[in-house]
A and B are shown apart, each in its own frame.
Chain A
Amino acid sequence: MSTENTNVVVDDGRAKFSDLWKKEDYWAIWLGFLVLIIGYTLFAAQTPLKFRETVTTANQIMAAAAEKAPFKTIEWYAAQESKKKLRARDSSEGKTIASYTRTPGVWKDNPLESFYVAKEDVDAANARAKPVTDSAKAAEAATLENAKVAQKAAEDAGYKDSWLNAEAETKINAWRKAKGTTSKALAKPMNLFPTLAVFMVVLIVFFGIGMAFMGNNIAQFGLAFIGVFVVANLAFMMGSQTTMRTYGINAEAWAIIIGMLIANTVGTPSVIKPAIQTEYYIKTGLVLLGAEVLFDKIVAIGIPGVFVAWVVTPIVLVTTYIFGQKVLKISSKTLNITISADMSVCGTSAAIATAAACRAKKEELTLSIGISLVFTAIMMVAMPAFIKAVGIPEVLGGAWIGGTVDSTGAVAAAGAFLGEKAMYVAATIKMIQNVLIGVTAFFVALYWTTKVEPAEQGMSGRSVGIGEIWNRFPKFVIGFLVASILASMLSGSLGPDLSGAMVNEGLVRGIAGPVRTWCFVLAFTSIGLGTNFRELAHYFKGGKPIILYVCGQSFNLVLTLLMAYIMFYLVFPDITAKI
């Protein structure tokens, strides 16, 4: 994004070797890759023998169970469960990193509980929950017994009695539903103040090195960072309040709200300003996000998923952008593409990547995210209610939700409302869409550097040379893509099960994801602290951003439903039957 006057030409100088240690884009790459190298060394460099053995045994059991029975047996699910328990981040190093990167926790009425929960309070809460937990465990044991009896009956009939098979499947599903309610961990005592203080110092050093090389005063930056870090923690705290959590008003949104509150009332203290480095934090966060964009995820649900997520999404994105330019005549192309990507791809993360790739203004990113959050909150409740009322099948409903609701968390919750199958399909479709972020950011950056910026500088019609493209191209996008390609190669080489255990539950959730989250919240805090209400209001002019979102999303809803129906029910019904 740009915080500069649009009349000022950006990146007008030739690329120099010294850019490697003087430019923000490159520092985002070095810092991002430092974290990824640490994560790879700790979690993914060597596959533990126990992991391989567990996966091999579990897959053999599942294959054998599939040969025997026409439904998923208890043994099938138990084998799958053994794979799910494999997590590289459960190592001692992973737990140490988790303790220091941990964000303020859930609370309802007392905000202090977000940072500190005493042992006595935890013991009291666990004691209160014990009767419910014991009852749930007893229910699980009872449903498991019923499931075993029903499965034995079906097996004794050689799996030829369709009624016995259906009965066994129903009892097994009931057992799994009961199991889900007992899987919650007990509450634990917590004191985040010391770990947050240490982590703050780590972040000051982490970002400060780059700031120093870029010619900034590291002492001033360090002092200023304390203020930004405190506001970021307040944002995490508000995002963790139970009601706000349900509505999906996350830490990123609160960072903007609290930051703007301060900036537009008492005013942002000048001592904090050296640490208001929106682009620096966002670019570093995006390079880390690259490691979560794993291309082998695309086939997680077969060809239907690819069509719903990767064919529909670009069509909606491009169509909405053209609609915004030709029909609504939105004056800012960067606002248009940011809203189009936000709505069509996957919400806030797509908006961040696209805005950074096309150097959108921070107000445009803020507006895009605000519109997305409002409509996500509406759709995540309205869509499942509509789907249930109309009687749309679970798989179709899940695919529809996954391809249209913006945020992954809201998608999973909305899918869960319909049922487990719908949630699985919805979450998988959204995950496949998330992977599209890398491609979107690259092509937006390429389009902007080759077409849009030259046209704005009166150079349309003149071909742009490779050197000039390189000068203009946002370099952090290259870091983002390289991280994605390398992580995808690692994930692909390990296979889906080990990749889940070591990349997803190791490199990503063990270090890259938590640090990325902090980077984004720091970035949005910086946005809030530097945003004027009046400047933001200017972008609402004529309501065009909202009209763009509504029209684009309406098109998205129709096209996604149509494609999901064709793919899951007409072309690949066999895949649908297996889910």
Chain B
Amino acid sequence: MRPSFCSRLTRLGLALAVLLGIVYGLAPLLLNSFAPLRAYDQIVRETDIIPGVLFYSEVPQTRDAEMNNRDSIRYR
């Protein structure tokens, strides 16, 4: 038997509360607590690289990388 709408809404609320706790609480806490993660975060902010993108075409630095490698081989 399907739970009542109130029950389902309560589940959604609880799930959202847990998610927000992770996003605003646990995730930043972990990031600030471990030196390698902090250093990594700094690199991400400085370079504007988005770690989660799917394909090379979404990382502007890939074009820089390709151009540098090709030009280094051609013009050195």
Contacts and interface: CB of A to CB of B under 8 A. Distances in A.
Interface of A: 59, 62-63, 65-66, 72, 76, 80, 83-84, 109, 180-181, 184, 238-239, 241-253, 257, 261-262, 264-267, 289, 292, 297, 300-302, 346-349, 373, 376, 380-382, 384-385, 407-410, 412-414, 416-417, 423-428, 430-431, 434, 496-497, 500, 504-505, 508-509, 513, 517, 520, 575, 578-579
Nearest to A516: B55
Contacts of B39: 417
A412 B62 contact: yes
B75 A381 contact: no
B66 A246 contact: no
8 contacts: A245-B44, A297-B66, A407-B52, A412-B47, A412-B65, A416-B43, A517-B54, A575-B73
Nearest to B72: A578
Contact of A513 (B40, B58, B65): B58
Contacts of B23: 238, 241, 243-244
B56 A413 contact: no
Contacts of A497: 67
- Which 10 interchain pairs have the tightest Cβ spacing? A250-B52, A248-B51, A265-B12, A431-B56, A424-B65, A427-B65, A409-B53, A248-B52, A265-B11, A66-B75
Nearest to A575: B73
Given A300-B66, A416-B47, A431-B62, A62 B55 contact: no
A380 B36 CA distance: 10
A381 B40 CA distance: 7
Give the secondary structure class of A's interface.
helix
B8 A408 contact: no
Given A407-B52, A416-B61, 14 more contacts: A76-B75, A239-B52, A243-B31, A248-B52, A251-B52, A292-B55, A376-B51, A407-B53, A409-B59, A413-B40, A414-B40, A500-B66, A517-B54, A579-B69
Taking residues whose C-beta sits less than 8 angstroms from the other chain, chain B's interface range is 35 or more
Contacts of B36: 381-382, 385
B8 A66 contact: no
A246 B43 CA distance: 9
A294 to B, nearest CB: 9
B42 to A, nearest CB: 9
Contacts of A250: 50, 52-54
B59 A412 contact: yes
B28 A243 contact: yes
Nearest to B39: A417
Nearest to B69: A301
B32 to A, nearest CB: 10
Given A83-B67, A416-B49, A246 B9 contact: no
A246 B68 CA distance: 26
Contacts of A520: 54
Contacts of A239: 52
Contact of B73 (A262, A423, A578): A578
Contact of A408 (B19, B28, B54): B54
Contacts of A257: 19
Contacts of B11: 264-266
Nearest to A266: B8
Contacts of A424: 64-65, 68-69
Nearest to A437: B55
Contacts of B69: 300-301, 424-425, 428, 579
A497 B48 CA distance: 23
Contacts of A84: 63-64, 67
A244 to B, nearest CB: 7
Contacts of A373: 52
A247 B76 CA distance: 38
A292 B50 CA distance: 18
Given A84-B67, A578-B73, A417 B54 contact: no
